A and B are shown apart, each in its own frame.
Chain A
Amino acid sequence: MEPIRQHQGLVYPINRANIDTDQIIPKQFLKRIERQGFGQFLFYNWRYDDDGNVRSNFSLNDPKYKDASILVAGENFGCGSSREHAPWSLQDYGFKVIVAPSFADIFFNNCVKTGILPVQLTTKETEVLIANAEAKEYKLTVDLEQEKVYDSEGFNASFSLSAYQREMLLNGWDEISVTLTHEDKISEFEAATSR
């Protein structure tokens, strides 16, 4: 997993609450057995019509967001299924940071494991970011070490992640390797509880 410390990028706003994982990546694309290449299917049914034509009225299809790497959305982002294909598709598409007033638990967790930084700000703060990014080409800087989000015009907000999740993302650690350093404890537990 690639470490993530500080990221500056273009913001893509999507002003909807309860964006579920069926919207982020529809089920017909979950049949693949690979981990790569899901970006093309991100928000598929919103980006394309039934015949596969581009829907010009969906904002992600607007060329001005082509290079966006920070997604800002409404409440409860990533609700629904546990499919890690959702963060995989966001990451493969080019998103490194997701900002929202709240996230679904499993999705939040899956982001951290995938190496996407989920940033929880207040509803007011996300509304400001959404308004800015809708109005103009808008860049943000997200600093995980300082746990800060800021722009060049005076916006400045803080967020927090658990110490553990922060470490994982900052270092890009392989969690299984970390856990296996405690293998003796796992074996002891199994022996003590006859598992």
Chain B
Amino acid sequence: MQPKTIVEKIWDKHVVHQEKDKPDLLYIDLHLVHEVTSPQAFEGLRMKGRKVRRPDLTYATMDHNVPTLDRYFIKDPVSKKQMDTLKDNCEEFGITLADIDHPDQGIVHVIGPELGLTQPGKTIVCGDSHTSTHGAFGALAFGIGTSEVEHVLATQTLWQAPPKTLNVKVNGELGKGVTAKDLILAIIAKFGVRFGTGYVIEYTGDAVKSLTMEERMTVCNMSIEAGARAGLISPDETTFEFLQGKRHVPDGEAFDKAVQEWKALATDPDATYDATVEINGDEIEPQVSWGTNPGMCIPVNETIPSPEDANSASEKEEIERALEYMGLEAGQPITSVNVDHVFIGSCTNSRLSDLRRAADIVIGKKVSDHVTAIVVPGSQTIKLLAEAEGLDKVFLDAGFEWREAGCSMCLAMNDDVIPYGERCASTSNRNFEGRQGNGARTHLVSPEMAAAAAIEGHFIDVRKYTVPSFSS
């Protein structure tokens, strides 16, 4: 038999219909829904008198607009209306909703895996570009627009052309204090923000195999920042161990049977990709973004690039614009940059292990006088688990705020907004102009690096700290 990649195997199992000069009609196993990209889709169904074909394969939550201080007090009436609309739509069309007062509520890409809805081999879509997160489990997961949300609601399928595959192979191992976040930022810095366009990325190599599931989610999450609609990792023992016992995962004999099927999904040894790039994990250092796209990243001990280093006139202009927006000087060490805010959260880095590692840094220390720091757990479940371990106390004692679950300052659609011109060390995934507030200056970092920046008041190489998690 012809060796195949995991992408080809999943694809073949989901083709409903094929005809000449058309994309394939692909079946969708799981459709995740949130309040921002769905109202117009439901309205479209209503206008045509259509139903949701498979409410049982559809799961909704609220995350983008949710307030993180008092979750029941939604100040902005437009936000409130959007949330109420999702509730009404879920009731009308019979869709399960993890509403604001539901214990399972959280960021859509955090709760899917947490509940075991995300499983190897599934096709998963959501009206959200970070749907690639679910690829960590060996699922083919990608973001869609609202028209496609409506299409999936009505038909449980999508017209899709088979994607090209791109192998991103990470050799060696990551050093102490170097995280999955640094890995994905370094990959995007090295290969650029559009190297994945038109591809599905499969992350392979020793450094990827040794990542935990939460770390794999961090990596796959940011595939879209490299231009790839989806990024995935072949499932292995780490995957199965994580899934066992999760609510929507089969148990007992059914679980063993599922594991056999999932194992067979992994890319065959001699399978070929349309393209391959390699990077050495040993060489990666903690990263800090300095500019206005996620490719504009440097190792923490380097200096901010100069427009003079650019390879083209348009790149030169891009660097100049970014420096001006960010209020930075070329040649300045990134460690000399002071921060005003620290945000630990988002679907990239708000899981329990992220919070634990950040807590390891701040324990017994104090947030710098000029810094406002907040921690926003990715889900209500994570919040409760963290509190049971006393992580909330560690953060509160250090001077952090401890908030309710949601997207929060990742895109500042709720009240958590960075004021004009102020600077934030953020564990989120996008440093676009205005992302965290109009005129806000975002620096993307790992949770450890964000925690250390909160304490020091500026960026610092987190490897200068000695903490237990670095020796494990």
Contacts and interface: CB of A to CB of B under 8 A. Distances in A.
Interface of A: 15-18, 20, 22-23, 26-28, 30-35, 45, 50, 74-76, 79-84, 87, 102, 104-106, 109-110, 113-114, 162-164, 175-176, 179-180, 182-183, 185-186, 189-190, 193, 195
Interface in B141-194: 143-148, 150-151, 154-157, 159, 161, 193-194
Contact of A76 (B150, B154, B194): B194
The 9 closest A-B pairs by CB, nearest first: A113-B147, A33-B39, A84-B145, A110-B145, A82-B143, A84-B146, A163-B21, A82-B129, A31-B78
Contacts of A179: 25, 151, 154-155, 157, 159
Contacts of A16: 317-318, 321
Contacts of A31: 36, 65, 76, 78-79, 81-82, 413
Given A84-B147, A195-B27, A45 B48 contact: no
Interface string B371-385: 000000000000000
Contact of B229 (A50, A102, A105): A105
Given A15-B314, A35-B40, A102-B197, 8 more contacts: A16-B317, A18-B194, A26-B434, A50-B438, A81-B128, A82-B145, A162-B161, A179-B159
B301 interface: no
Interface string B98-129: 00000000000000000000000000000111
B430 A22 contact: yes
Contacts of A185: 16-17, 25
Contacts of B216: none
B255 interface: no
A33 to B, nearest CB: 4
A101 to B, nearest CB: 10
A110 B434 CA distance: 23
A44 B318 CA distance: 20
A17 B433 contact: no
A151 B438 CA distance: 38
B337 interface: no
Contact of B420 (A32, A50, A74): A50
A106 B197 contact: no
B55 interface: no
- What bracket does the count of chain B residues touching chain A fall in? 35 or more
Contacts of B64: 30
Given A79-B194, A102-B194, A176 B146 contact: no
Interface in B6-38: 13, 16-17, 21-23, 25, 27, 29, 36-37
B145 A113 contact: yes
A186 to B, nearest CB: 6
16 contacts: A22-B411, A22-B430, A31-B82, A45-B438, A50-B438, A76-B193, A81-B430, A102-B197, A104-B197, A104-B227, A105-B198, A175-B151, A176-B151, A185-B16, A186-B16, A186-B155
B23 A32 contact: no
Given A102-B194, A113-B147, A180 B154 contact: yes
A164 B21 contact: yes
B435 interface: yes
Contact of A22 (B81, B85, B228, B435): B435
Given A22-B433, A82-B144, A84-B145, A33 B43 contact: yes
B19 to A, nearest CB: 9
B374 to A, nearest CB: 18
B248 interface: no
A182 B53 CA distance: 14
Nearest to B315: A17
A80 B40 contact: no
B197 A189 contact: no
B293 interface: yes
A26 B79 CA distance: 15
